[in-house]
Chain A
Amino acid sequence: MFLKIWLCLLTGFLFTLPPKDTKQVKRKDLKQDESKAITIAAASDLRYAMDSLVKVFHKEHPEIKVNLIYGSSGKFYSQIVNGAPFDLLFSADIAYPQKLQQQSLTASAIQLYAIGRIVLWSKKINVSQKGMNALKEVSINKVAIANPVHAPYGKRAEESLKYYKLYDQLKSKLVLGENISQTAQYATSGAADVGIIALSLALNPQIRSQGKYYLIPENSHQKLEQAFVVLKRAEKNKSASVFSSFVSSASAKGVLTKYGFTLPK
């Protein structure tokens, strides 16, 4: 009887396994058949812009289902290397798509879609007037930045702080967000007195209404070249290339500009 239970459960368990390819015996899990759905891994700074882009995309292509996942670019890179089922990667730093290309994990050319900017944001302190000097205030207990190790915006924030010679005195007050979106959440909730977040997030009406921001000068950090690429898994996925072309279209560019991204020349 015990054996019967075991067999039933094992059978049930086997049904949860992902469906197999009907073709070859030695199946390469990397390619996806032509499908009407795409999974996009997007850097967290695109959180509102990408939502908007997908809405516009659906007006022209309502039959294509888009699954969106937000996170830090570095984390997505690791996941993709480990076989994550993403079709497109929108990275906040061109370095990651380049690394993927070197490992033959891409299925298209790398396309620059925007230049990102970082801003100083605070709920209480008037950073728009004080600029970087606001960080010298004694009242500041916590400064939120994204984790420089795997979030491009965090890396640039660190670079800016070092450029303005503020890093050493603020180091003990730093709070690291897992991605730039979480960092913004720390700042808007007041958990951090001030944060360095993405311009694209600062311009979002929800966030904008809660505090003030200051655009950090571009010369204080490396450029935030944001690029996207179609991943190897979606090599044969027509929907992926459709979305890819859409991002280069005028309507998509309009959305990106509206959300504070500078378009690459």
Chain B
Amino acid sequence: MDEAFFNTLLITFKLAGLTTLVLLAIGIPLAYFLVYSKSWFKNLIEALVSLPIVLPPTVIGFYLLVAFSADHPFGHYLMDTFGIRLNFTFTGILIGSIIYSLPFMVHPIQAGLQHLPPSLKEASWSLGKSAQTTLFKVLLPNIKPALLSGIVLSFAHTVGEFGLILMIGGNIPGKTRVASIAIYDEVESLNYGLANQYALVLILIAFLILFMLFYLNRKYLSRKDYD
């Protein structure tokens, strides 16, 4: 049982970690676009990005389940071109998690960027720096609390995911059985002791992460002169 316990936790944190990393890469440009762009379809993108917060996870899970299956054009394309099927695989639940936790990364960064005084960006531009350099050397360093918020929220949200993973993951031990599903499974088996073990570990780690977040936030990152 110990090996299974360890494996389950490993998959859980691997999923959360990878989701967070990918979301950082996707979230920053998206947030930048939403804050600084003057495009007409900004509202559309904003609504789409916020959709996963409002939708029940099973809705996303359902559509992904259908999209991944070989009968659907997307799933068929994946099968033909790459020879892979995403249902019931780790990659499948990774994609699901990325969609599901997207707003939790984008919103904090968006809020952070929005609260920066425009003079920062303008000063950097007027000194001849490119938009990219400005983003990475001026803007992002000034919204570190927001970035940290986004990272922690996405990570924690993914760890807590249940309905979506259950739908497209299939509870396959060693591949898609994450801690939240394992707890459900053990309760069903009346193994309350084991369920409790998983739950305690999750609470402990969640608490540690949050504690670290607030501690770091207070100590290192809240030294802003213009707040």
Contacts and interface: CB of A to CB of B under 8 A. Distances in A.
Interface of A: 1-2, 5-6, 9, 12-13, 16-18, 20-21, 25-27, 29, 39, 44, 47, 67-71, 79, 82-85, 179, 181-182, 184-185, 188, 206-207
Interface in B1-51: 18, 21-22, 25, 29
A9 B87 contact: no
Nearest 7 Cβ contacts at the A-B interface: A27-B83, A82-B69, A181-B188, A9-B25, A29-B85, A16-B91, A83-B87
B83 A21 contact: yes
Given A67-B172, A84-B87, A85-B172, A13 B188 contact: no
A29 B68 CA distance: 13
Interface in B68-94: 68-70, 79-80, 82-85, 87-91, 94
Contacts of B90: 16, 18
B190 interface: yes
A18 B170 contact: no
Given A6-B25, A82-B87, A1 B136 contact: yes
Contacts of B188: 44, 47, 70, 179, 181-182, 185
Given A29-B84, A82-B65, A188-B190, A13 B172 contact: no
Contact of B21 (A2, A9, A26, A70): A9
Interface of B: 18, 21-22, 25, 29, 65, 68-70, 79-80, 82-85, 87-91, 94, 132, 136, 170-174, 185, 187-190
A188 B188 CA distance: 11
Contacts of A85: 88, 170, 172
A207 B173 contact: no
A69 B18 CA distance: 26
B18 A17 contact: no
A83 B173 contact: no
Contact of B171 (A13, A47, A71): A71
Nearest to A68: B173
Contacts of B82: 17, 20
